[in-house]
């Protein structure tokens, strides 16, 4: 645990209306959960803040309290840059290097901001003034809850903030089933229920509001796209740009697809490789000893967690698949 938080809630009141909260590119449930939890918490405490995301995010997160007040940098650069220039305090949530947020990160480097980093990824870069970081936390949302209770004042965790934190807990732990789920995660969840988060309602909003097109894509994917290699220990799946177009794929539609491969008996590592035309994007998941983050960092300029990581490639889809298969050879000892 790296914890250098020194400020109190009183100190933050002086920054009201000068606080920007941001998170990673294509934010997921934990990224939006932690950002909007902080936004709603501040609102309850009488502190004004602005959530600015580098890009848009999946529509299954649009129900979250505060979503309507989020500003998306991509496409609104001028408005966002004005707010960032005038801000004094920046929260970076669920990522640990400004380089991960592309153009927005480059702009932020030109601003005069005090930076607070709250995150659960490995090896944070040194760009912050205060931090609450732990790779043992299931999610950034778990750390946000700790931030509110141990450093600020838990009384402002209202129902809105509780719903947001609960969202990050369930999306980053696979609904409390991954190894990252600890007794602390469950205690935090219990506290959120006491504060008005209703599990069945949140689960429904996140997982059971699919578009029929997404289910059809899923059916096609399961039927045609998953192959087993390395004697059934690795599941590999790809999606081409044509396929993405054919099924009218939107941000978030392929979320979770990499887990299908990992659910096959005997599979220790699953990869999903998607040709997003500008870039080939890759997701890796593993059970047990296969270090997805090192594999992603060494071969695909990526990173993440031990059992869940990602990366990208500038090669064609076919060449990326070949590179992936070759790279696996050096990692065969983790597949035994």
What are the residues binding ligand 5GP (CB under 6 A)? 283, 302-305, 308-312
Q: Are residues 303 and 309 in contact, defined by beta-carbon separation less than 8 angstroms?
A: yes
Task: Build a one-symbol-per-residue string for 155-184: x at contacts with Mn ion by CB under 5 A, - elsewhere.
Answer: -----------------x------------
Asked whether 280 and 312 are in contact (CB, 8 A), the reply is yes
Binding-site partner at residue 81 among ligand 5GP, Mn ion, none, CB < 5 to 8 Å by type: none
Tell me the three-class secondary structure of the chain, residue by residue: CEECCCCCHHHHHCCCCCEEEEECCCCCHHHHHHHHHHHHHHHHCCCCEEEEECCCCCHHHCCCCCHHHCEECCCCHHHHHHHHHHCCEEEEECCCCHHHHHHHHHHHCCCCCEEEEEECCCCCCCCCCEEEECCCCCCHHHHHHHHHHHHCCHHHCCHHHHHHHHHHHHHHHCCCCCCCCCHHHHHHHHHHHHCCCCHHHHHHHHHCCCCHHHHHHHHHHHHHCCEEECCCCEEEEEECHHHHHHCCCCCCCCCCHHHHHHCCCCCCEEEEEEECCCCEEEEEEECCCCCHHHHHHHHHCCEECCCEEEEEECCCHHHHHHHHHHHHHCCHHHHC
| Contact criterion met (CB below 8 Å) for 89 and 15 | yes
Query: In this complex, which beta carbon is closest to ligand 5GP, that of residue 312 or of residue 327?
Result: 312
CB of 117 to ligand 5GP, least distance (A): 14
- To the nearest whole angstrom, how small is the minimum distance from the Cβ of residue 172 to ligand 5GP? 8
State the binding partner of 30 from ligand 5GP, Mn ion, none, CB within 5 to 8 A by kind. Mn ion
- Minimum distance of ligand 5GP from residue 205's CB (angstroms): 19
Q: Binding mask 183-222 vs Mn ion (x if CB under 5 A, - otherwise)?
A: ----------------------------------------
Cβ closest to ligand 5GP, residue 43 vs residue 305: 305
Residue 275 engages Mn ion in binding (rule: CB under 5 A): no
Closest distance to Mn ion from the beta carbon of 119 (Å) = 8
CB closer to ligand 5GP, 65 vs 304: 304
Please, which residue, 267 or 309, has the CB nearer to ligand 5GP? Answer: 309
Query: Judging by DSSP bridges, how do beta strands 89-93 and 114-119 pair with one another?
Result: parallel
Nearer to ligand 5GP by Cβ, of 69 and 123: the residue is 123
Backbone phi and psi for residue 64, each to the nearest 5 degrees, phi listed first: -65, 140
| Residue 283, contacted partner among ligand 5GP, Mn ion, none, CB below 5-8 A by kind | ligand 5GP
Give whichever of 93 and 335 is closer to ligand 5GP, judged by the CB atom. Answer: 93
267 binds, among Mn ion, ligand 5GP, none (CB under 5 to 8 A by kind): none
Considering only residues 18 through 47, tell me which ones interact with Mn ion, judged by CB under 5 A. Answer: 30
Is residue 94 a contact residue for Mn ion (CB under 5 A)?
yes
**Partner interacting with residue 312 (select from Mn ion, ligand 5GP, none; CB below 5-8 Å by kind):** ligand 5GP
Residue 255 interacts with Mn ion (CB under 5 A): yes or no: no
Residues near Mn ion, by CB under 5 A? 30, 94, 140, 172
């Amino acid at each position: 645990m790296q914890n250098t938080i020194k400020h109190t809630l009183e100190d933050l009141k002086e920054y009201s209306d000068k606080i920007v909260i941001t998170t990673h590119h294509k934010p997921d449930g934990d990224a939006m959960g932690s950002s909007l939890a902080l936004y709603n918490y501040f609102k309850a405490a009488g502190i004004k803040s602005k959530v600015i995301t580098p890009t848009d995010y999946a529509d299954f997160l649009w129900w979250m309290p505060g979503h309507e007040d989020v500003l998306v940098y991509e496409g609104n650069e001028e408005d966002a840059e004005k707010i960032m220039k005038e801000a004094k305090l920046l929260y970076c949530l669920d990522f640990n290097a400004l380089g991960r947020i592309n153009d927005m990160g480059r702009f932020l480097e030109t601003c005069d901001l005090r930076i607070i980093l709250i995150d659960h990824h490995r090896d944070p870069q040194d760009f912050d003034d205060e931090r609450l970081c732990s790779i043992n936390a299931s999610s950034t949302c778990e750390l946000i809850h700790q931030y509110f209770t141990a450093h600020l004042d838990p009384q402002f965790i209202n129902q809105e903030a509780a719903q947001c934190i609960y969202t990050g807990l369930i999306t980053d732990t696979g609904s409390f089933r991954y190894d990252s789920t600890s007794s602390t995660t469950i205690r935090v969840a219990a506290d959120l229920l006491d504060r008005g988060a209703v599990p069945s309602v949140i689960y429904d909003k996140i997982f059971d509001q699919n578009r029929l097109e997404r289910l059809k894509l899923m059916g096609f994917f399961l039927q045609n796209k998953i192959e087993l290699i390395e004697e059934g220990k690795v599941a590999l799946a790809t999606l081409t740009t044509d396929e993405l177009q054919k099924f009218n794929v939107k941000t978030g539609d392929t979320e979770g697809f990499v887990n299908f491969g990992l659910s096959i008996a005997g599979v220790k590592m699953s990869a999903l490789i998607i040709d997003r035309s500008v870039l080939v994007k890759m997701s890796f998941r593993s059970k047990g000893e296969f270090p997805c983050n090192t594999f992603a960092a060494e071969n695909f300029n990526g990173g993440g967690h031990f059992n869940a990581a990602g990366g990208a490639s500038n090669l064609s889809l076919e060449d990326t698949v070949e590179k992936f298969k070759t790279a696996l050879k050096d990692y065969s000892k983790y597949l035994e």
